[in-house]
Amino acid sequence: MNETTIEVSALAPSPTIWGRRLYAWYLRSDALKGFALLSPTLLVMGLTMLIPFGIMVTISFWAQIGFEFDTTFTLANYGEAVEQPLYRALLLRSLAISGTCAVVTVLVSYPMAYYVAFHVHKHKMTWIILMTVPFFTSYLLRVFAWKVILGYNGVINSGLKGLGLIDEPLAFLLYSPTAVVITLAHAWAAFAILPIYISLEKIDRSLLEAATDLGDGPVKRFLGVTLPLSMPGVIAATLMIFIPTVGDYVTPALVGGPDGIMIANLIQAQFGLVNNWPMGASLAIDMMVVVAVISLLYIWLTRKITEKIA
- Please state, in angstroms and rounded to a whole number, the distance separating the CA atoms of residues 25 and 297: 38
Helix crossing, 263-271 with 85-119: angle to 10°?
120
Q: Locate the domains of the chain by residue range.
A: 14-60, 79-309
Mean pLDDT, residues 2-26:
58
Q: Tens of pLDDT along 251-304?
A: 999 999 999 999 999 999 999 999 999 999 999 999 999 999 999 999 999 888
CATH number of 79-309: 1.10.3720.10
pLDDT at residue 106 is higher than 80: yes
Quick check: 26 pLDDT over 80?
Answer: no
Using CA atoms, how far residue 129 sits from 117, 126, 193, 194, in Å, is 14, 5, 11, 10
Amino acid 197 reads: Y
The whole-model pTM stands at: 0.84
User: By percentage, how much of the chain surpasses pLDDT 70?
Assistant: 94
pLDDT tens digits, one per residue of 62-84: 999 988 999 999 999 999 999 99
The per-residue pLDDT for 249 is 93
Number of C-beta neighbours around residue 183 at 10 A = 29
Choose the weakest-confidence range: 17-21, 110-114, 142-146, 169-173: 17-21
- List, in sequence order, every beta strand (DSSP E) within the chain: 63-65, 68-70
Query: What's the maximum distance between 2 C-alpha atoms anywhere in the chain?
Result: 104
**Tens digits of per-residue pLDDT, 212-257?**
888 888 899 998 899 989 999 999 999 999 999 999 999 999 999 9
Mean predicted lDDT score pLDDT of the chain? 88
